[in-house]
A and B are shown apart, each in its own frame.
Chain A
């Protein structure tokens, strides 16, 4: 099944998962979690740029008040597909499927995930879903908004909702399988000595994420089925003409989609929790609080969904309950922020690119989270819901928070993944550009939102007073785009020309650093046995150790 083995040119290299086998089939049929992670990395990056491309078109259209760049329908399709692609095909799989896939088994000292073939299957499902989504986009697209509220999506739009629904359904299946694999792996495959209280917090974060993926995703799946059946087969479930309730759809949709925002942020929090101790050479402050707050976020995250429905016509009392619970879920996030900050205290802090991204994450997530508190305040929500205030809120968390964390993680583990060092100067520059571009793009949107600019508006010629802020935002998006292109370029460059990395270039704790860079196929030469706590930077730094000499 694999291609005949080409004799590798770099004979002198240690055998690792990258050079173990060559040929396209050795990748497409691999069950090695590390290779699958790379497959994901490539496909997710692809979708990120598609989504980003739509974002740039959105921003260009909003440069002027009149709808002059694209048609109204086109604009609606743009933000719909931007949202769908970014959420279902980029951010939800991003960290779990790339970094999680790569690192979860290594961090717990396992040879692979519990179900390697299911892992591969989940990548194929993702690709099938993605292909359907691409086909859908190229043959007309959808214009329902990523939230596809009924009855618009079920009875009114004449775009290809069913096809997009199928794509998301399949991608959702992929997400479920990833979560299932993680849960079983974390329960069953830990190395001897790797107790729950020694797990890296990255693992705790992924465990919490998996809970949401497992319990939430099936609900969006069935919701899609219901809407698709309503549309294609004329079954009536939500149809108000039959006495159905469109709000029921919103309940079902947000029952998944609110917890889903924690699918996006938790893994990123996990990444940051690895980076901060490493670059401040300290054990994490309040290990068990950080660990349990991940679980708390996952569980409480299921209790707050209707804060997206405060003006939807829900009962006032339900509004109260959900507002209250939204504040409850904010507490564990606060705990995390404070623990990260406290970890810096009396550290020995270096400003390498991963750490810069982590700083960016901290600041931007905090702002995004704090504006979440505005939204959860009932009285304010009425005014700002469905305006750019919401758009700014979630971009602060998802782009400023989650994507920053993702980039930080990619940089942090790049030496492990590729065996090469990335160019540090360029990386710091990119982090800076992303940070500045980001704030310029999305900060004006808070103001726009409070001034009343509704979201999903193609044309705002009735309110030309909004233009200045929109121009700023568009300018920022351009800078941001450059900031995202940079890592793309220099990371690719480093794969060929970068300096070879040692096994542990950051002198970081964590089992994944105790094996070769890049790791061998079965991760460890011999079964590791864990006798130390996580983040034992005190021990690592105790004897002033020399940097290991890079191989080659």
Chain B
């Protein structure tokens, strides 16, 4: 790979990595699709969500270059929005889980 023309501030990663991530994502998609048909009880949801989270992290880290982002603030933005999303989900569900009749 002739990378000599990449300018200094370029944040691209090696092409091999991109293809690797791509392949992993496809494999994970296949896995999650097949696993859904296997009886795992409550763990079906867990597995599905864990795989989705892994895939999302891969995309964010490598395709969106969070991995290499020099910018700490970008990571902070991502984490902050996830944190506030969890607040929304968590505190709302806190109401529903503690209602006497449900």
Contact = CB atoms under 8 A, between A and B. Distances in A.
Would A and B touch once assembled, by the CB under 8 A criterion? yes
Interface of A: 187, 211, 215, 219, 247-248, 251-252, 255, 302-303, 305-306, 314-318, 321-322
Interface in B73-99: 73, 80-81, 84, 87-88, 91-92, 94-99
Nearest to B92: A251
A255 B94 CA distance: 14
A219 B84 CA distance: 11
B88 A219 contact: yes
24 contacts: A187-B73, A215-B81, A215-B84, A219-B88, A247-B95, A248-B92, A251-B92, A251-B95, A255-B88, A255-B92, A303-B91, A305-B91, A306-B91, A306-B95, A315-B94, A315-B98, A315-B99, A315-B100, A317-B94, A317-B98, A318-B95, A318-B98, A321-B91, A322-B91
A315 B91 contact: no
Size band of the interface chain B makes with A:
10 to 19
A252 B99 CA distance: 18
Nearest to B99: A315
The CB with the most chain A CB atoms within 10 A, among B80, B95, B97, B100, is that of B95
The 5 closest A-B pairs by CB, nearest first: A318-B95, A317-B98, A315-B98, A315-B99, A251-B92
Contacts of A219: 88
B94 A321 contact: yes
Contacts of A302: 84, 87
A272 to B, nearest CB: 27
B87 A314 contact: no
A195 B23 CA distance: 45
Contact of A318 (B73, B84, B88, B94): B94
A178 B48 CA distance: 37
A303 B87 contact: yes
A219 B96 CA distance: 19
Contacts of A211: 80
B81 to A, nearest CB: 7
B98 to A, nearest CB: 4
A215 B94 contact: no
Nearest to B85: A215
A315 B95 contact: yes
Contacts of A303: 87, 91
B83 to A, nearest CB: 9
Contacts of B73: 187
A523 B99 CA distance: 57
B71 to A, nearest CB: 9
Interface in B52-80: 73, 80
A318 B80 CA distance: 24
Nearest to A188: B73
Given A215-B80, A315-B94, 12 more contacts: A187-B73, A248-B92, A252-B92, A306-B91, A306-B95, A314-B95, A314-B99, A315-B97, A315-B100, A318-B94, A318-B95, A321-B94
Contacts of B98: 315-318
Nearest to A248: B92
A252 B89 CA distance: 10
Contacts of B95: 247, 251, 306, 314-315, 318
A43 B99 CA distance: 46
A211 B73 CA distance: 13
B91 to A, nearest CB: 7
A302 B91 CA distance: 10
Nearest to A183: B77
B21 to A, nearest CB: 28
B96 A315 contact: yes
A442 B96 CA distance: 37
Contacts of A314: 95, 99
Contacts of B88: 219, 255
Nearest to B95: A318
A305 B94 CA distance: 13
A305 B80 CA distance: 18
B82 to A, nearest CB: 11
Nearest to A215: B84
Best-buried of B81, B92, B97 by chain A (most CB within 10 Å): B92
Nearest to B87: A302
A161 to B, nearest CB: 23
A314 B91 CA distance: 12
Interface in B21-65: none
Contacts of B80: 211, 215
A248 B87 CA distance: 15
Contacts of A215: 80-81, 84
B9 to A, nearest CB: 15
| Residue of A305, A315, A321 with highest tally of chain B CB at under 10 A | A315
Nearest to B81: A215
Contacts of A252: 92
A527 to B, nearest CB: 23
B74 to A, nearest CB: 10
Nearest to B73: A187
A251 B97 CA distance: 14
A69 B95 CA distance: 42
A303 B13 CA distance: 40
A314 B100 CA distance: 10
A252 B93 CA distance: 12
Contacts of A247: 95
A189 to B, nearest CB: 14
A247 B94 CA distance: 13
A324 to B, nearest CB: 12
A391 to B, nearest CB: 26
A251 B90 CA distance: 12
A306 B88 CA distance: 11
A262 to B, nearest CB: 14
Nearest to A321: B94
